[in-house]
Structure 1
Amino acid sequence: MSRRFSTHTVGSVAESIPNSIVSEGHVGELVELTHTNNCTLPKNEDTFGPATGNKFTVYFDIWQLMVYIASMIVKPIAAAVPNCMRKRMPFFNELSIIMDLLCWMTIILTFFMGYIIRKTKVMVLEPKRIAWNYVGSIFFICDVLSSIPIPPLVYFIRVIFGAPHGYIEGVFYLLCQLTFIRLVSVVSYINSLSDYFRIKSKGMVFLLICIIMTIMIVHGFALLQLLIPRLVRQYFAVNNETRKMWFVKYRLHRTSFWTLYTNSMLKSSAMVLSIRNFYILSNEEEDYLLAILTYIVGKVMVCSTYVIVAVTVLNNRSMEIKFYSIINQLDEYMRQKQLPLNLRDRIKNYYNFKFQHKYFNSDRIYEMLPDKLKKEINIHECKNLIKNVSLFAHLTEHQTSTVVEMLTPEIFLPKDTIIQAGSPGDCMYFISSGTVAVFTHSGKEICHLEDGAYFGEISLVLQSSPYRCATIVAIEITHVYMLKKKDFNRCLLRNPKVMRRVIRVAHRRFNEIREQEAKFKKMLFEKIHGGADDLPSTQ
């Protein structure tokens, strides 16, 4: 798949250093390339397609995509339609000439575009290498031969020879079919443009490619149903045998183009799908050979589609298959351990929340990454946490990055006790997602904390309360990040503004918990004392 880049978009630097290459994804960086006077084409430099990241090349590749699709529609029609019918089609000859001019314009522009070497992933901007790369490819030969303007050529042949020259005209009509080679480029451009525009639905892209390929293949064979009989019975035949052509037998050549094309499309579709067509039958040798070829291509196309769909589905669902395999092992493990049903449900809920029905070894993947990427991943994972937690708003970017590195993710299921009142305080928590309930030591519910809240800081900053003064219980599946006391002291104690805020919030919460605890105890005492007074006398 080729990726092009205009030599003019690099600016004066590219002009002053013509023998240079640009790394993919870093258009502004020029890497010096050793100059060679006799540049030969490497075998792995035969790909063409868009260079992502540059708008000009994207526009050019959209242009190429439209030109190639249009040429695969118009040029084979110009070659396959009988001459008598082409005369009845208004402006079709002009449209064919315009299509040829657009194709030649695309060929010329290709010589001014860079390309990316697939193996080294670098972009070549040297004009000589660009020319050699394109000229030495099969696409250049097919583009040139299929872009020869047929109407003017046929006119000059008849002027030179004084009469139609069947062999020459037939060869040029046959060369027009080489434009279908560009179907490979169309698929390549669709994939590359989907990556550039960041289309996430790969299934829709694959469906679009399948639809375009199917339409173009059926369209090509439909026109071959018209071209092959003409070549055999008219242009390459010793004696004119046009009466044996199937569309002449059914007098379809005297109808409109759409009637002839529809019948030819019906015949081609029936052969591709292996459906017997009782409406249009032909007993000529070329029709039998074309039917066999169409049948084989149709079977290969159907089988290839099935295989590609199966492989794509398996690749897209491989993580889900691994997940359910792990779940099956988990079920067997819990059955052998004879765990109670409620515990089994809690374990399954944990797996479902942690892996989201797709299993992969996240720890191993993370450990293989360099430290810089690890930091970027940590910051990205905690992006919503940093945005929601007001405490981080008072930290510098470096301090925030340092705190994020020391956070430890944990998952708590509903009714899990995160903090128990009276236990020593050695860490604090930040809520990424979920809801927790705050209870006093006596069991009085005070409030709920949700996304972006933090708790557990009281025992870390207040010397008068080294033990937990409240119990924190998860109401739903809650994803939190834990910060240990030593890391808290190392990261946040150096920021007086943050510490003053944390201490102020801790004092307010601690006083509120004490007040709620005192009120709750008083209410219990009055309830119990009042209940004792209401007891009947036993005397």
Structure 2
Amino acid sequence: MTLEKRALALAEHKRNNRDAVTMEDLDISLQNDIFIRGDDFAAFVPMLQGFPSDCWIVKENILNSTFEEKYIFCLFRAVSNMVRISYGSEYPPTVMVNNDGSESTFKKKMQHLEDYMTYRKLPRELHARIREYYKARYEGQWINEKSTLSLVSRSLREEILMVMCGNLLKNCPMFQNSDIHFISAIILKLKYEVLLEGDVIIQQNAPGDRMFFIKHGQVIVETSSFQEELCDGGHFGEITLLAREGQGATVRALLTCRLFSLSIDDFDQVLQEYPDAMNIQSEQRSEE
């Protein structure tokens, strides 16, 4: 029995039982025929639906055309779908695209991570924290932001990052009166980081290598005689950039935190490009 006759027989059976046709209803050989003969598949669904008025076959006015004309149209639509063209057609085909690419990649990465942790026999608690970090860091979507931003021009990259974290710098006194070009250069150096609840971000008296800006989250800054909580829009660790001294307090994440960090090396590199910005440091020291 031909593909068309088998498909029509199935459709007639389902109509008699007032049921819908799904791919699960097709036997394996019929499914294979459909996918192998992709040109026929362009007309398969409309045929099962009884050629409704809004289907492409009716709109293209080929319902009563010869078999050869129908076949050529189906072949054209199948090829159009693959190469994403629709020249000469008033009703172009809908391109089927996998919209779950980043989610699928994330799941594969998570599975690879699970396999690694099992192979290394990591403790259950550490296992759970690593899994929690990945979920918080990528939020179910595996997107390489650095690679993605490299695909756009520098000016567009600056604009994107300015939207993402421009207000964080504006809230920081050491950058409030800075030249816009200096701010743009600083923004390009910021690194995105995720810290989990309970993580020690800065240890008192330990040497530091960067300062932090809080995009989302909450931290506690504490010494033996002082405590202060910071949340969205806050910053800490600037003593590292200004005085190059050990950290004056311990900073711990109270919630999962999404931060941007600026390292000493990156800060110094920007200062070399904008030497006049050095007065920021002297002004800050005089205020202290």
When the two structures are superposed, what TM-score results if normalisation uses the length of structure 2?
A: 0.59
What's 2:259 paired with?
480
What's 2:232 paired with?
451
Letter in 2 for 1:311: M
- Residue 437 (1) aligns with residue 220 (2): yes
8 Å contact from structure 1 (residues 457, 502) kept in 2 = no
8 Å contact from structure 2 (residues 220, 254) kept in 1 = yes
Q: For 2:54 and 2:94, how far apart are their aligned partners in 1?
A: 19
Q: For 2:286 and 2:52, how far apart are their aligned partners in 1?
A: 69
Q: For 2:158 and 2:148, how far apart are their aligned partners in 1?
A: 14
SS in 1 for 2:248: coil
Pairwise CA distance, 1:384: 4.3
Pairwise CA distance, 1:359: 1.5
Pairwise CA distance, 1:355: 2.0
- Residue 324 (1) aligns with residue 107 (2): yes
2:183 to 390, 400, 409: 400
Q: How many residues align?
A: 213
What's 1:311 paired with?
96
SS in 2 for 1:406: coil
Using a 3 Å threshold, how does the CA distance of structure 1 residues 458 and 390 change in structure 2: closer, same or farther? closer
Written as runs of structure 1 = structure 2, the 5 A alignment for 1:250-269 is none
SS in 2 for 1:437: strand
Q: For 2:172 and 2:150, how far apart are their aligned partners in 1?
A: 28
- Residue 349 (1) aligns with residue 135 (2): no
SS in 1 for 2:140: coil
When the two structures are superposed, what TM-score results if normalisation uses the length of structure 1?
A: 0.34
Using a 3 Å threshold, how does the CA distance of structure 1 residues 407 and 492 change in structure 2: closer, same or farther? farther
Q: For 2:142 and 2:216, how far apart are their aligned partners in 1?
A: 21
Pairwise CA distance, 1:501: 4.7
Using a 3 Å threshold, how does the CA distance of structure 1 residues 499 and 454 change in structure 2: closer, same or farther? farther
Q: For 1:309 and 1:394, how far apart are their aligned partners in 2?
A: 52
Letter in 1 for 2:235: Y
8 Å contact from structure 1 (residues 418, 474) kept in 2 = yes
Q: For 2:252 and 2:227, how far apart are their aligned partners in 1?
A: 12
8 Å contact from structure 1 (residues 436, 474) kept in 2 = yes
SS in 1 for 2:96: helix
Using a 3 Å threshold, how does the CA distance of structure 1 residues 450 and 215 change in structure 2: closer, same or farther? farther
Using a 3 Å threshold, how does the CA distance of structure 1 residues 398 and 435 change in structure 2: closer, same or farther? same
Q: For 1:467 and 1:362, how far apart are their aligned partners in 2?
A: 32
> 1:270-318 CA deviation, whole Å, 9 max, x = no partner?
xxxxxxxxxxxxxxxxxxx96x99xx99xx8xxx9xx988934xx1112
Using a 3 Å threshold, how does the CA distance of structure 1 residues 349 and 389 change in structure 2: closer, same or farther? farther
> 1:232-278 CA deviation, whole Å, 9 max, x = no partner?
xxxxxxxxxxxxxxxxxxxxxxxxxxxxxxxxxxxxxxxxxxxxxxx
Q: For 2:132 and 2:275, how far apart are their aligned partners in 1?
A: 35
- Residue 382 (1) aligns with residue 155 (2): no
Structure 2 unmatched ranges of 5 or more: 1-50, 83-92
| Greater share of helix | 1
8 Å contact from structure 1 (residues 382, 404) kept in 2 = yes
Letter in 1 for 2:178: L
Asked which structure has the greater RCO (Cα within 8 Å, sep 6+), the reply is 2
What's 1:77 paired with?
none
Structure 1 unmatched ranges of 5 or more: 1-212, 225-288, 508-539
What's 1:419 paired with?
202
Pairwise CA distance, 1:383: 3.4
Q: For 1:350 and 1:502, how far apart are their aligned partners in 2?
A: 37
**Quick one: percent identity of the two aligned structures?**
28
- Residue 362 (1) aligns with residue 141 (2): no
Using a 3 Å threshold, how does the CA distance of structure 1 residues 449 and 354 change in structure 2: closer, same or farther? same
SS in 2 for 1:339: coil
SS in 1 for 2:283: helix
> 1:89-128 CA deviation, whole Å, 9 max, x = no partner?
xxxxxxxxxxxxxxxxxxxxxxxxxxxxxxxxxxxxxxxx
Q: For 2:286 and 2:53, how far apart are their aligned partners in 1?
A: 70
Pairwise CA distance, 1:361: 3.5
Using a 3 Å threshold, how does the CA distance of structure 1 residues 485 and 320 change in structure 2: closer, same or farther? closer
Q: For 1:385 and 1:214, how far apart are their aligned partners in 2?
A: 56
Letter in 1 for 2:251: I
Q: For 2:156 and 2:283, how far apart are their aligned partners in 1?
A: 33
SS in 2 for 1:316: coil
What's 2:116 paired with?
333
What's 2:250 paired with?
471
Letter in 1 for 2:236: F
Using a 3 Å threshold, how does the CA distance of structure 1 residues 487 and 334 change in structure 2: closer, same or farther? closer
Using a 3 Å threshold, how does the CA distance of structure 1 residues 357 and 492 change in structure 2: closer, same or farther? farther
Q: For 1:495 and 1:391, how far apart are their aligned partners in 2?
A: 11
SS in 2 for 1:382: helix
